Amino acid sequence: MAYLFTSESVSEGHPDKVADQISDALIDNFLAFDKESKVACETLVTTGQVVLAGEVKSNTYLDVQKIARDTINKIGYTKGAYMFDGSSCGVLSAIHEQSEDINRGVDKENKEEQGAGDQGMMFGYATRETENYMPLALDLSHKILIELAALRREEKDITYLRPDSKSQVTIEYSDDNVPQRIDAIVISTQHDDFIKPASKSREDIAKADEAMLAKIRKDLVEILIPRVIAKLPEDLKALFNDTITYHINPTGKFVIGGPHGDTGLTGRKIIVDTYGGKGAHGGGAFSGKDPSKVDRSAAYATRHIAKNLVAAGVCDEVLVQVSYAIGVVEPVSIYIDTYGTCPFNMTDGEIAEKVKTIFDMRPAAIEKRLKLRNPIYSETAAYGHMGRKNETVTKTFEDIYGHEKSLEVELFTWEKLDHVDQIKTAFGL
């Protein structure tokens, strides 16, 4: 019997994502001026206020207030009407030095013997159902909000959009796990109060609100969705049809939003950041953590393994788990689940043993292989850490004295299919 599966995404203007982006902007700035920085930085955002807290060990000093304000303005919170904007909000820093008790287990004289920054388990996942080896429902949810943000910045076809938004896509699958159609799309977008009531009566207010909602519904279905569809491959375009149920701003008016409408915290959107509920999650957030924290680096490494395994033909879908003990260099375990999609006679345990010989999962080795000691994290903090485009860009940073530093960095290295040939050789494919 066919079944439904749903994933959600949130925009860069969602309060939790605002917090993530500030935390990762701090990470990038620390790493830009001191590659060996150890950082665990949390951010809270609420009406007119940003609170920074966390632990840092670094040889550089940053103007954290300016970094936070620049990040907020870049997202689009630039107007007093939003009750939260980068130029006027308060920024309180409670960042202090990293605990020596934690640091002694991580830093070693021989960097190759660097211990894991924490205990825990991390998961990577990949599936053949999309070109970027991501779950379809999540991939479409991200694409909807990326296009919505583009429309907001263009201020042309839709002029009333504000930064905060969410999306959700429900896919109908066949019994053999093949996407058949899109069943439902949910979009909630913050907007200007662009239709004023004729009077302060309940009737006139309700009439104005309904007119606004009707305009938003029409624009999103007739402008946004066709733009999303136009950028998809033909097989995914075919999943869109006239029977999709649309829930557009289902609660009605959504003028009050962003950090004014809902407090945001770093690390509260870990499922949006990863696989939309497919596969599994170890529970650790990514943003605000330097790569010595295996919550982040090992999650990227397991995604890298999973994607290369699927691309090499070892399986059509795979979950990779790795676990660590704090301060210990070698992983405690590596686990593989191919969901029965391996086309040749090899158990998941046997696949895991081969994976161990191909990928060095010591923390320092992961950092080196994926080039993680670089300022590459701001780009990860909205629209997912996985399934993104691997590319090289030049980024410019400014120190507290106004001196600029430009660096060429490679983004989303864990999305590279650079181990496919090695995997094929190891598995005799």
Q: Is 168 annotated as a binding residue?
A: no
The predicted-structure confidence for 240-289, as pLDDT tens digits, reads as follows 999 999 999 999 999 999 999 999 999 999 999 999 999 999 999 999 99
Residues of the chain with CATH 3.30.300.10: 3-9+136-256, 120-127+291-427
Neighbours of 281 (CB within 10 A): 17
Q: Is 154 annotated as a binding residue?
A: no
Q: Is 74 annotated as a binding residue?
A: no
Detail the DSSP E strand segments found in 220-345: 245-248, 264-265, 317-324, 333-337
- Residue 109: per-residue pLDDT: 60
Q: Is 40 annotated as a binding residue?
A: no
- Residue 70: per-residue pLDDT: 97
To which residue do tokens 């930064």 refer? 163
* Average pLDDT along the chain, 429 residues, taken 10 residues at a time: 95 98 98 95 97 94 95 96 94 82 57 79 97 98 98 96 98 95 98 94 95 97 98 95 96 93 96 97 96 96 98 97 93 96 94 97 96 98 98 95 92 98 94
Neighbours of 310 (CB within 10 A): 23
> What is 120-127+291-427's CATH topology?
GMP Synthetase; Chain A, domain 3 (3.30.300)
Residue 405 has which token pair? 């530093």
* Cα distance between residue 390 and residue 414, in whole Å: 8
How far the first Cα of the chain sits from its last, in Å, is 34
- Residue 107: per-residue pLDDT: 60
Residue 66 has which token pair? 């300016």
Whole-model pTM over 0.85: yes
Considering the domain 3-9+136-256 in this protein, what is its CATH number?
3.30.300.10
Residue 415 has which token pair? 């999305």
Q: Is 290 annotated as a binding residue?
A: no
The two beta strands, 264-265 and 38-46, are antiparallel
Q: How many helices (H) and strands (E) does the chain have?
A: 13, 13
Q: Is 14 annotated as a binding residue?
A: yes
CB 83 within 8 A of CB 122: no
Residue 322 dihedral angles phi and psi, to the nearest 5°:
-130, 150
Q: Is 35 annotated as a binding residue?
A: no
CA angle (11, 15, 17) in 5-degree steps: 50
Q: Is 9 annotated as a binding residue?
A: no
Q: Is 262 annotated as a binding residue?
A: yes
The predicted-structure confidence for 203-219, as pLDDT tens digits, reads as follows 999 999 999 999 999 99
CA angle (82, 151, 127) in 5-degree steps: 105
Read off the amino acid at residue 396. T
Dihedral in degrees, nearest 10, Cα atoms 236, 238, 241, 243:
-80
Q: Is 98 annotated as a binding residue?
A: yes
Q: Is 143 annotated as a binding residue?
A: no
Reported as half-sphere exposure (CB side, CA atoms, 13 A), residue 113 has a value of 5
